[in-house]
Amino acid sequence: MSSQSSIIVRQFEISVENKIGALAYVSDSLAKACINIKAIAIDTKGDQGLIKLVTDDEESTRDLLNISGFNFKEHEIVPIKLLDKPGELAKVARAMSNLDINIESVFLMDREKGAVQIAFKVDDLKKAKELLK
């Protein structure tokens, strides 16, 4: 495990209606502001959607979401670089579980030769950062 816990990464969770075009509207807004999406996940439940994303410019993302009136929350997430082989994610997940750290979301941030960068949103940031040092 190679932690990058000194790096602060923010995850934005944008609440939207679960309807055709919601993702297009959000991603168009970001594109027009020249903000690149580095990682994204979408969850839906009934008529509600949640777009979770990491961008290349957190300050501009925050400003855009505020100015555009989007309903959003942001959270610090913990990045870690792992070997790109079976069982590496399981080791981290088990270690967090053993310390009663709940993993709320996971992003695959990057994949390069022999390694992957993953970021975790957890319920106990301090414990997770300590574990991943």
> Is pLDDT of 51 > 60?
yes
Residues 71 and 83 in one domain: no
The structural domain count of the chain equals: 2
Question: Which pLDDT belongs to residue 4?
Answer: 52
Please provide the average confidence, as pLDDT, over all residues in the chain. 92
Residues 70 and 17 in one domain: yes
Token pair, residue 67, equals: 């100015």
Residues 66 and 42 in one domain: yes
Residues 105 and 125 in one domain: yes
Residue 61's CATH number: 3.30.2130.10
Residues 80 and 70 in one domain: no
Question: Which pLDDT belongs to residue 6?
Answer: 55
Mean pLDDT within 83-108: 95
Question: Which pLDDT belongs to residue 133?
Answer: 80
Question: Which pLDDT belongs to residue 5?
Answer: 46
Of 41, 58, 75, the residue that ends a domain is 75
**Cα separation of 97 and 29, whole Å?**
38
Residues 67 and 83 in one domain: no
Confidence of residue 12 (pLDDT cuts 50, 70, 90): very high
Residues 58 and 89 in one domain: no
> Is pLDDT of 101 > 50?
yes
Residue 96's CATH number: 3.30.70.260
> Is pLDDT of 77 > 50?
yes
Q: What percent of the chain has pLDDT over 70?
A: 95
Residues 98 and 126 in one domain: yes
Residues 32 and 69 in one domain: yes
Residues 69 and 81 in one domain: no
Q: Over the range 16-50, which residues count as b (16 or more CB within 10 Å of their CB) and which as e?
A: beeeeebeeebeebbeeeebebbbeeeeeeeeebb
Residues 22 and 70 in one domain: yes
User: Are 82 and 115 within 8 A, CB to CB?
Assistant: yes
Question: Which pLDDT belongs to residue 37?
Answer: 96
Question: Which pLDDT belongs to residue 24?
Answer: 96
Q: Which domain holds residue 86?
A: 2-6+76-131
Mean pLDDT within 97-110: 93
